[in-house]
Amino acid sequence: MSKEAFIFILGLMVFAAALYWLAQANTKDRQTMAEILGMVVVQKGEEERGKDYVLGNFRQSLAMQGEMHGRPAGVWVRSVRRFTKHNSKNMSLQTVLAFDLKGESQTAFRIEPALTGKLQSWFGGDQPVISSGDPEFDRLFRFTSQDSSAAIQILNPEMRNQLLAFRKAVVGDMPNSDLGRFSGDLMMGIFAVEGNRATYTVAGTPSEKIARHFAMAGPFLAEFAERLQKQA
């Protein structure tokens, strides 16, 4: 065997070993996440493709399923491909906690961190921004919807206080500056209505850290889903 052939075969073996290690690590991360959330890992989960007015084109697969706070729930791993106004592509991986609704919601809106949420308009397709009437909430969150009256009824003072408490639990104490707020925003995800699901989406793939984040988001997402169904 020539030296070149030996190096080539050795390289393939190293590459295969790396892929195996990554697969094992991914399996372990998913199992840990499922245990924390009280779900079960789905080996070959349902796959979906879609297009969102903000997300762009996406593909997602069901990674785990179960029940949280009395609701059917699932965790999806999503691959997003955005097309920007400048005709460039932006790829990202996200993990989505989804609570099933009894029917498709007619009220589409998003609750996202204020500063990072403003960046979404760069991708186009933004919805009208709604003022909640609560200066502290509007300073930290960006609330968008095409149905302001229905959205305001859902996001009442009780819900806003619950969401502010959730942010405090996730972010902790950050400097009261634009940089501090932006750093805190990067630690938060996005609550949204997606057809027949209420969702909370964060950047990254399943991990113990995201699992604990989702565990904290669960109570708000469950109440969010309940209010959506009452509004329907």
- What are the residue ranges spanned by the domains of the chain? 5-231
The predicted model gives 99-105 an average pLDDT of 87
Contacts of 75 (CB under 8 A, 6+ apart): 33, 34, 37, 39, 62, 63, 64, 65, 95, 96, 97, 98, 206, 214
Task: Decide if pLDDT at 157 tops 60.
Answer: yes
Which tens digits make up the pLDDT trace of 159-216? 999 999 999 999 887 767 677 777 777 889 999 988 899 999 999 999 999 999 999 9
Per the prediction, the chain carries an average pLDDT of 80
pLDDT number for residue 103: 83
pLDDT number for residue 212: 96
Task: Decide if pLDDT at 83 tops 60.
Answer: no
CA separation for the pair 211, 32 (Å, rounded): 8
pLDDT number for residue 163: 93
| Residue 125 burial (C-beta neighbours within 10 Å; 0-12, 13-18, 19+) | exposed
Task: Decide if pLDDT at 22 tops 50.
Answer: no
Task: Decide if pLDDT at 75 tops 60.
Answer: yes
Task: Decide if pLDDT at 31 tops 80.
Answer: yes
pLDDT number for residue 181: 73
Which helix (H) or strand (E) element contains residue 59?
strand 56-68
